[in-house]
Amino acid sequence: MGSTATDLADWDDLVLKALEKWKVPGMSVAVVHEGESWAKAYGVAELPDKPLSTDSLFQGCSTTKAFTAAATALVIDDESSNPSESQLKWDTPISSVIPDDFVLADPYATANTTFEDALSHRSGQPAHFMRLRFARTDESTQFAVRALRHMPLAYAPRTTFEYNNFMYIAVSHALEQRTREALGSFMKRRIWEPLGMRDTYFDVREVEKTPGLKERLVQGYDWFEEVGNYKAQPNVNYGPTKGAGSMVSTVLDYEKWVKALLAKSTPLSKDAHEALFRPRSIVSSEQFATSKPGAWAQLYALGWFVDSYQGIPFFWHTGGWPGTAILVGLVPSKNFGFVMMSNSSSASDMYKTLYTHLFKKYLNLPLSQDPDNSQTKPTEEKPQTSADAIQRFFKSLSLDEATPPSVPLSALTGTYSHPAYGSMTITLEDETLRADCMDRVLGAIVDLEHVTVNHFLAKSYLPGWGKATVDYFAAEFHIASSGRPDRLGIKLEPALEDMIWFDISSAVSAE
C-alpha cells in the first residue's frame, strides 16, 4: 500500500487526538488500497479500560442498507435467468409483491412505488423518525409495514429525496416474502459466506445472548457535557429494523466487503454493481450536512450517497444510533476504500478530518479548506430552550398574555392513540401534563407545557441528562362539541404541514 499501520505514526497521533477532542471511547478502522489492506483499533470497547480490537463487534446500523440493495440485486439477477411477466425488476412496484401489507396513504403512491424508489429514498414518505423512536420494541415487521398506510406522505413519488428507514423495512419484508427466506439468512448465504464474512450477524439481540459474541460486542456511549459524564446507550431493540440497519460486524469483515465492491467481484454481477452505484436521487435538503464532504453536489444511489471530492467520485454511507457511528467510504477510480467504526455518536463529527487525511496520504489529494477540517453544520439548530421553541413554533399566535385552556388540565388526561405512532397515556403530575414513554425504542418522558388556549409545547427528554436530550414539538388539544378533548396533535414530522393526531381512547391498529 505504500504505507502500513506500523509506519503511520502521524495517523495514530491524529486519531488519538480526535478521540479525545470528540469524547469518543474507541474506534476501529480498516483501509483498502490497490487490493492491499490494514486494520487497527484505538481506545476502549467498554469503559473504563476494556481494550478495543479489530474483531470487536459493532452495530452496522444504516450501513446495512447497502447490503439490502445488494440482496435485491441478487434476487433480480436470479429471476432474470427465468424471464416472466412477474419477474422482479428494479421498477417492480412493491405492492405487487406484498399487496395486502404495502399500502401507502395515497393510492397512486401505493400502486407505483417501486423497489428502486424505496431503496433510493424517493418514495415521497418523510423520515417519520419519531414513529421509530416511540415504537414498541415488540412490533413485528408486518405491523411496521402495514402501519405505512397511516403515515402521511410529504411529497409526490419520485420528486424529492427524503431519507426513510421504513421503506427499507418494507423492502426487507417484500424480499422475505419473495424468497421465502429470512433476509439475514439470505445475506449470509449469498453475500457474507461467499466473501468470507464469517463474523457478521443480523440481529444484535441474538448477539447479546450468544456466548463468545456478546463479550466482543462494544458498549456504546455518548458524552453529555452538561452533566460531565458518559451515558451508556442501549443497542438497537426494534425487530423490524432488518434491512434498514440490523447488521452486526467487525472492521475486518467489512474490509472484505469493501474489497469486493472495489474489485466489482462476485457474488454480485457486473450489472448489479452498476445498478447499485448509479445515482437515482438528488439530495437537496441539509439533513445530511453533518456528513457531506463539502462537495459540489450530493446524490443517492441504492444504499450509497454519491459525492465528488476534489473532483473524484466518492461513495459513502453512515450508520448511526445513540452510542454508535459507522462510516464506509469508496473511491473506486483510485481503488481505495475505508471503514470506520466507533462507539459514540459524536464520532461522526471527526470522520471527515480522518478520511481526508487518508485521501491525502494515499491518493495525494489536498486537505479541504475548512478552518479545522470539521464537518459542515446545519444552518438552523434545534431550539435550545422552551422560550426559544415557543417563539419559533407559535409565531402566528398572540403570546402577549396566555389564555387558559378551554378545559381544566385534569380533563386533558387519558390515553391518546395513533394507528402508526402508537399510544401515550397522559397524566397530571404537579400541574404538569406528562406521558411516560421510557419503554419505547428510544424512550423518553414527554411533558406538555401550556402556551395559550389549547396550544401546548411538547418537551421530550431523558431525565437527569440535561438539555442535550431535549426535543421540542408544537402540540394542540382538540376539544369536541361535547366540551371534552377528543384528539391531541403533535408536530412530530417536520416535513408535514399538519400534526400527527392521536385520538383519545383509540385502539392501536395497523389494519
pLDDT value of residue 507: 33
Architecture of the structural domain at 386-504: Beta Barrel (2.40)
Task: Answer whether 319's CB lies under 8 Å from 81's CB.
Answer: no
Residue owning grid cell 461467499: 194
- The one-letter code for the residue type at 109 is A
Task: Give 368-436 as a 3 state SS string.
Answer: CCCCCCCCCCCCCCCCCCHHHHHHHHCCCCCCCCCCCCCCCHHHHCEEEEECCCEEEEEEEECCEEEEE
Domain pair 69-178 / 386-504, same fold: no
Measured between alpha carbons, how far is 310 from 300 in angstroms, rounded to an integer?
Answer: 18
Question: Does residue 58 sit in helix, strand or coil?
Answer: strand
Topology of domain 5-61+201-363, CATH: Beta-lactamase (3.40.710)
pTM value is 0.94
How far are the Cα atoms of 30, 187, 240, 391, 432 from residue 249, in angstroms, in the given order? 13, 13, 19, 45, 44
Q: pLDDT tens string for the chain (511 positions)?
A: 555 545 577 999 999 999 999 999 999 999 999 999 999 999 999 999 999 999 999 999 999 999 999 999 999 999 998 878 789 999 999 999 999 999 999 999 999 999 999 999 999 999 999 999 999 999 999 999 999 999 999 999 999 999 999 999 999 999 999 999 999 999 999 999 999 999 999 999 999 999 999 999 999 999 999 999 999 999 999 999 999 999 999 999 999 999 999 999 999 999 999 999 999 999 975 555 444 445 456 999 999 999 999 889 999 999 999 999 999 999 999 999 999 999 999 999 999 999 999 999 999 998 866 534 444 444 457 888 999 999 999 988 877 778 999 999 999 999 999 999 999 999 999 999 999 999 999 999 999 999 999 999 999 999 999 888 999 999 999 999 999 999 999 999 999 999 999 999 743 344 4
Contacts of 477 (CB under 8 A, 6+ apart): 405, 412, 454, 456, 485, 487, 488, 489
Between the alpha carbon of residue 173 and those of residues 100, 152, 244, the distances in Å are 12, 20, 11
Place of cell 471503514: 339
CATH code of 69-178, in short, is 3.40.710.10
Residues 200 and 253 sit within 8 Å (Cβ to Cβ) = yes
Residue ranges of domains in the chain: 5-61+201-363, 69-178, 386-504
